[in-house]
Amino acid sequence: MKKRIVLYKRLSDDLMARLQERVEVTWVDTTLPDGLARLRDALPGAHGLLGASLRLDASLLDLAPQLEVVSSVSVGVDNYDVAELSRRGVMLTNTPDVLTETTADTGFALILATARRVVELANWVRDGHWQANLGPAHFGCDVHGKTLGIVGMGRIGEALARRAAAGFGMRVLYHSQRAKPEVEARHAARQCSLDELLQQADFVCLTVPLSASTEGLIGARELALMKPEAILVNISRGRVVDEQALVEALRARRIRGAGLDVFVQEPLSVDSPLLQLDNVVATPHIGSATEETRQAMARCAVDNLLSALAGERPANLVNEVCRT
């Protein structure tokens, strides 16, 4: 008898067909008004879950006593209580690697868009204000030859470092829990304290995962250490930054600007003060949002799930389970 999985993320036809060959699939569209209720109804008897952007709490897990694996179509796993899943003997898998380059592209897009005021000035042209040659009031700042500070030197951090050093001739500083001599050798990067990075970098890019130690990592004190002409870019998680402190720093022009792909509350409210500021470029969490990368992530998640249900160790296992 086939094992049963609950799918709450749309898949391509070929991936859906592959799943249906091996397991019984129940599809639930959690974006519908009754989506969560439908999900709860589908959980009893489920051996696997596959999807993203759903916070699995104990009340949901209690409905799935036969659950063996949660396959998340994401790199970040902050929506999951990893310790609780482990205690219940439920494997958690994610999809690293396949989105590294695409997310680094997004980071650099935000660096360039914010530095050169691309969104602001494109809207200015669209609104019919381009009537004469530009003057200093509309100038941006250069990216090439500047200093990029990367907070969190994982896969995405190194992909950013490579783009910065090889493509833009930038000096690279980084702050991470441990030194990365191989990254330093490849990209002439230098490890330093967070304070030193904030004081020296022209662009500060956040790539750390969300955890107890990184939540609120960048607050009023840290923003005050940055250069007045510096730009903050966040492609990690919204809660890594104290959003109100950032709004105040941007309003007062204590830093030049911010390029943000993640926010404390998503979707971002239309009345967010961030959207009232012309020195903010805000994108709707598009870090991995290309057709190619999202398909690769989904394929990886399917591989993880099928391996786990076959009794194998998935390639991207996040936790060690305690099976009894």
Residues with catalytic function: 237, 266, 285
Burial of 115 (0-12, 13-18, 19+ CB in 10 A): buried
Compute how many other C-beta atoms are within 10 angstroms of the C-beta atom of residue 30: 16
- DSSP letters along 174-220, please? EE-SS--HHHHHHH-EEE--HHHHHHH-SEEEE-PPP-TTTTT-B-H
- DSSP letters along 99-125, please? THHHHHHHHHHHHHHHHTTHHHHHHHH
Distance CA 148, CA 89 (A): 42
Distance CA 113, CA 282 (A): 10
Compute how many other C-beta atoms are within 10 angstroms of the C-beta atom of residue 79: 15
Burial of 276 (0-12, 13-18, 19+ CB in 10 A): exposed
Distance CA 289, CA 205 (A): 19
214 close to 197: Cβ distance less than 8 angstroms: no
Burial of 42 (0-12, 13-18, 19+ CB in 10 A): buried
Q: Which residues pair with 147 in a beta bridge?
A: 171
41 close to 265: Cβ distance less than 8 angstroms: no
Closest CA relative to residue 3, chosen from 18, 19, 26, 24 = 24
Supply φ then ψ for residue 306, to 5 degrees: -65, -35
Distance CA 281, CA 277 (A): 9
